[in-house]
Amino acid sequence: MTNNKFHLLEKLGGSFRDPSGFMFKCQGELFRQVNWLSRDDYDLLMNSGLYAKLIDAGLLIPHAEVNSSYLQDKIAYKILKPILIPFVSYPYEWSFSQLKDAALTTLKIQRHALDYGMSLKDASGFNVQFWQGKPILIDTLSFERYRKGMPWVAYRQFCQFFLAPLALISYNNFSLSRLLLSSIDGIPLDLASDLLPWRTWYKLGIFLNLHLPKLMHRWLSENSIAAYIRNPEKRFSENSFQGLLDNLQGTIENLKWSPKSSRWSDYAASDLHSPAYGDHKKNTLKKFLDMVRPLSVWDLGAGTGVYSRMCASQGIFTVSGDADPLCVERNYLECKDSLEKNILPLLIDLTNPSPALGWMNLERFSLIERGPADMIVALALVHHLSISNNLPFDKIAGFLHRCSQRVVIEFVPKHDPQVQKLLSCREDIFTDYNQIGFEREFSSFFKIIESVQLDDSPRILYFMEAIR
Amino acid sequence: MYQDPGALSYLIQLLIAGFLATVFWCKWVRQKIIQFFRRKKNQPPDDEQ
């Protein structure tokens, strides 16, 4: 380590909006710079007891202060080294309950902050990550000194990032949460108000926090509103603040989403496959995991996470992705009930994975940019990509190759009942969909280490390693 | 990611706080009234004293 270590720093593309500081990489490690501008707030966070309280409660990402005597940057006050989150995920990839828990965590943190004379200055969904199975605040510089009488500066952001999408899912349709993809600052409240059904006007919390802003905006201009609020800091007591937080908490706790079933939610429990097939598949997967001992696995097309739990039981951090929102929801709720720390259930549609977003497409990473994984597990998936989505084998192999150097993949032949079901309502145009074609196309990217014919099934499980 | 809150956000919070305070005050007054009438009902009549 030279005396000028930090002159090699590489600022993260998305870390520029907050003048309090920014994230950067240096020699492969992640750091956070605290600028002199936020010295007082940072010192108050550390010395008031709030930091210790939040760490004890598991609500804030821990960090260590690094020797910053090498700093070249004159605006830098301190350098922090936070604990690394194994996989960064975004609110548009979360299930309903994940988003709800993230919202309630943000409110809990705000309550604790008030007890120590501080307040959150932003309540973005991107400030929360899932670590060891629970939502946690990762932006240590989100805190500012609480100014008595001042309303919550992050209130609108909280409503846009959490309340609006949760209400839209609960009262309308889960697909509306994808609006978070196109609105990087959260779903605009007037849009949410327009999309919510009329019965939400009778729900007090939804009316006050989502419909009322739209009405006020329609009746009053921004100038006249500003004229009413000449001295906001003299009118909003701490009791009012607590009341607002109570109202938001109660509103969010009352939001529910529990559809009875979806296309894939009961797939694992169905009796389509014999126990012998299931056991052989689990044992073979375990054997492949033992061969490699990966640190991280992406289980793609995970369903409700049956095989993800197998990976996690080996101590492997597993991203458990599926395109069915109810599967991801059930997976998360089961992880929560069992206090599972090694699984991160996420909404991942492989035919349209999360893109890079934000300024110059640098603020939020695409799914592929957040790799590579040590290993990918793609069980009972390839026939859905090929047959239902017309994806040729070489495209699938190319995508998996970009995501990982090792793949465990299950080939489902055409005479399998599931494939026959997919072909029952469409013309069979898949002349290359066979084992020879599969192995030929995948061999351009991977070397087949081992293949196993599964018991009581025509399906074959492959373990492959990248050749280039 | 700090976002400009806007004057409308402050106005809404003041309105919500005012509404909640009014609801709380009404509940408090209602409770006091109920307590008053309960005390009066439990008090023995004047001619029995």
The per-residue pLDDT for range B14-42, each reduced to its tens digit, is 899 899 989 888 998 999 999 999 998 88
> Does residue A194 lie within any of the structural domains?
yes
> Is the same domain home to A226 and A271?
no
> Is the same domain home to A229 and A100?
yes
Per-residue pLDDT reduced to its tens digit, A162-220: 999 999 999 999 999 999 999 889 999 999 999 999 999 999 999 999 999 999 888 87
Does residue A123 carry a pLDDT above 60?
Answer: yes
Contact B10 A217 (CB under 8 A): no
pLDDT at A415: 92
pLDDT grade, residue A231 (50/70/90)? low
> Is the same domain home to A243 and A276?
no
CA distance A134 to A55: 13
Contact A229 B21 (CB under 8 A): no
The closest CB to that of B5, out of A155, A220, A222, belongs to A155
Sign of the four-CA dihedral A303, A305, A311, A317: positive
Asked if residues A380 and A301 have their Cβ atoms less than 8 Å apart, the reply is yes
Per-residue pLDDT reduced to its tens digit, A42-71: 999 999 999 999 999 999 999 999 976 656
> Does residue A115 lie within any of the structural domains?
yes
Query: Average of pLDDT values for A13-20?
Result: 79
Counting other chains too, the contacts that A1-4 makes at CB distance below 8 Å and 24 or more residues apart are: A3/A70, A4/A70, A4/A72
> Is the same domain home to A77 and A97?
no
CA distance A365 to A21: 20
> Is the same domain home to A14 and A98?
no
Domain that holds residue A39: 4-82
> Does residue A224 lie within any of the structural domains?
yes
> Does residue A209 lie within any of the structural domains?
yes
Q: In the listed set A17, A51, A82, which residue is the last one of a domain according to the structure? A: A82
Residues near A408 by beta carbon (within 8 Å), at least 6 away in sequence: A285, A288, A375, A376, A377, A378, A379, A461, A462, A463, A464
CA distance A445 to A394: 9
Distance from CA of A397 to the nearest CA of B (A): 37
> Is the same domain home to A10 and A139?
no
Distance from CA of B27 to the nearest CA of A (A): 15
> Is the same domain home to A72 and A198?
no
pLDDT at A266: 65
Q: Which chain B residue's Cα is nearest to A226?
A: B7
Asked if residues A153 and A110 have their Cβ atoms less than 8 Å apart, the reply is no
Query: Average of pLDDT values for A267-282?
Result: 78
pLDDT at A110: 98
CA distance A375 to A403: 9
Domain count, chain A: 3
Does residue A323 carry a pLDDT above 70?
Answer: yes
pLDDT at A120: 97
Could you tell me which residue, A271 or A32, shows the higher pLDDT? Answer: A32
Q: What percent of chain A has pLDDT over 70?
A: 92
Opening angle at CA A147, ends A144 and A151, nearest 5? 95
Q: In the listed set A189, A224, A254, which residue is the last one of a domain according to the structure? A: A254
ipTM of the complex: 0.76
Q: In the listed set A196, A223, A254, which residue is the last one of a domain according to the structure? A: A254
> Is the same domain home to A150 and A291?
no
> Is the same domain home to A327 and A208?
no
Average pLDDT, chain A: 91
Q: Which chain A residue's Cα is nearest to B18?
A: A240
> Does residue A129 lie within any of the structural domains?
yes
Asked if residues A93 and A354 have their Cβ atoms less than 8 Å apart, the reply is yes
Query: What CATH number does residue A53 fall under?
Result: 3.30.200
CA distance A96 to A274: 32
> Is the same domain home to A249 and A210?
yes
> Does residue A260 lie within any of the structural domains?
no
CA distance A428 to A422: 10
CB-based contact (8 Å) between A213 and chain B? yes
CA distance A7 to A64: 20
Query: Average of pLDDT values for A15-21?
Result: 83
Q: What is the pTM of this model?
A: 0.92
Asked if residues A419 and A374 have their Cβ atoms less than 8 Å apart, the reply is no
Tell which residue, A91, A56, A282, A269, has the closest CA to residue A178: A91
pLDDT at A158: 97
Asked if residues A386 and A104 have their Cβ atoms less than 8 Å apart, the reply is no
C-alpha distances out from residue A21 to A59, A139, A142, A185, B16, Å: 21, 10, 10, 19, 33
Contact B1 A127 (CB under 8 A): yes
Instruction: Tell whether omega for the bond before A372 is within 30 degrees of 0, i.e. cis.
Output: yes
> Is the same domain home to A121 and A214?
yes
pLDDT at B49: 46
> Does residue A261 lie within any of the structural domains?
no
Q: Which chain A residue's Cα is nearest to B9?
A: A156
The closest CB to that of B1, out of A17, A235, A243, belongs to A17
pLDDT grade, residue A131 (50/70/90)? very high
Neighboring chain B residues of A217 at a CB cutoff of 8 Å: 8
> Is the same domain home to A75 and A116?
no
pLDDT grade, residue B45 (50/70/90)? low
pLDDT at A267: 65
pLDDT grade, residue A387 (50/70/90)? very high
> Does residue A262 lie within any of the structural domains?
no
